[in-house]
Amino acid sequence: MRIFLLLGGFFGLILSALPAAAQAPTDSAATLSVQRWYVPKHAVLQTAGGIGMVSGGMGYSLLRQRLDVDVLAGYVPRHYAGNKALGIFTLKTTYTPYTITLRDAAWRMHPLSFGGLVNYTPSRTLNRSRDSKYYKGYYWWSSTVRFGAFLGGRVTRELKPNATGRQRAVSLYYELGTNDLYVVSLATNLSGLKITDVLTLGVGGKFTF
């Protein structure tokens, strides 16, 4: 497990170093066009929202920066998880359709974001519902894979371009979300549960480099 993390970090470093080393900075337009597609466009750090007390990762921006696709690794310390800390690995996609540029052009508001996520909590720390001690279909759901959906908003501050001329920015976001099991609970108990019972809140920041 640790080896994979080390390897991931190592290749990540090489990948992020490649484009910078590959060309001489002539002008910013040329630099942008040479930017390798596979190099992540931003780093993410989030707290709560069901994917860790802290979760961090990288992501890409597509469709003129309206669609973000992020991969995050989250952590819930032992203190909040019972007898073992939890690791949570999340794939998340966020669509942000509207941008309002404020009078001070460095600031942008994104009043609406929505998206979905899927995450995996490794079974070593959980009593897995699909374990061999159960016959097939004993529990119908997976205890380690969660699907989620969320609504939120975001505010962005442009920063000075970096050495190669790429525009950098930092943004803060919040997300009100829920997950598949909470939705099932709500859908089967329309008088017994309220929508606020099944909501989760997460806040985070993105750094576009």
Partner 1 sequence: MFFTLIPRIRQAILLTAATLLLTGCELFEFSPNDVRAADRDLTAKNLARLQAQPKPTGGDTLRFVFTGDSQRFYDEVGPLVESVNRQRGISALVIAGDISDFGLRREMQWVNDRLRHLKVPYLTVIGNHDQVANGRQAYQEIFGPLNYTFTYDRTRFILIDTNSREYGFNGKVPDVGWLQQQLADTVGIRRQIVLCHVPPSNEDFDPTLVKPFTEALAKAPRLLFHLNGHAHSFSIGEPFADGVTYINSFAFEKRQYVILTVWGADQFKLEKVAF
**Binding residues for partner 1, per CB under 8 A?**
47-53, 74, 76, 80-83, 86, 88, 102-104, 107, 121, 125-129, 131, 133-134, 139, 141, 143-144, 146, 155, 172, 174, 176, 179, 181-182, 184-185, 188-193, 196-203
> What is the smallest separation between the CB atom of 204 and partner 1, expressed in angstroms?
12
Using the structure block, give the residue that is written with the tokens 């962005």: 156
Residue type, 200: T
Residues shown for the chain: 209
- Residue (17 or 172) nearer to partner 1, CB: 172
CB of 154 to partner 1, least distance (A): 12
- Rounded to a whole number of angstroms, the minimum distance from the CB of residue 109 to partner 1 is 9
Burial of 8 (0-12, 13-18, 19+ CB in 10 A): exposed
The residue (of 39 and 53) whose beta carbon lies closer to partner 1 is: 53
The secondary element (H helix, E strand) that includes residue 15 is helix 2-22
Nearest distance, CB of residue 99 and partner 1, angstroms: 16
Closer to partner 1 by CB, 59 or 152: give it: 152
Nearer to partner 1, 41 or 146 (CB): 146
114 HSE (CA, 13 A, CB side): 5
Q: How far is the CB of 188 from partner 1 (least distance, A)?
A: 6
Beta partners for 153? 174
Minimum distance from residue 59 beta carbon to partner 1 (Å) = 20
State how far Cα 51 lies from the chain centre.
Answer: 9
User: Cα dist. 209→42, 151, 196 in Å?
Assistant: 6, 25, 36
Give the separation between CA 49 and CA 32, rounded to whole angstroms. Answer: 34
Name which of 66 and 128 has its Cβ closer to partner 1: 128
Measured from the CB atom, the residue of 28 and 144 that comes closer to partner 1 is 144
Q: Is the separation of the CB atoms in 109 and 155 below 8 Å? A: yes
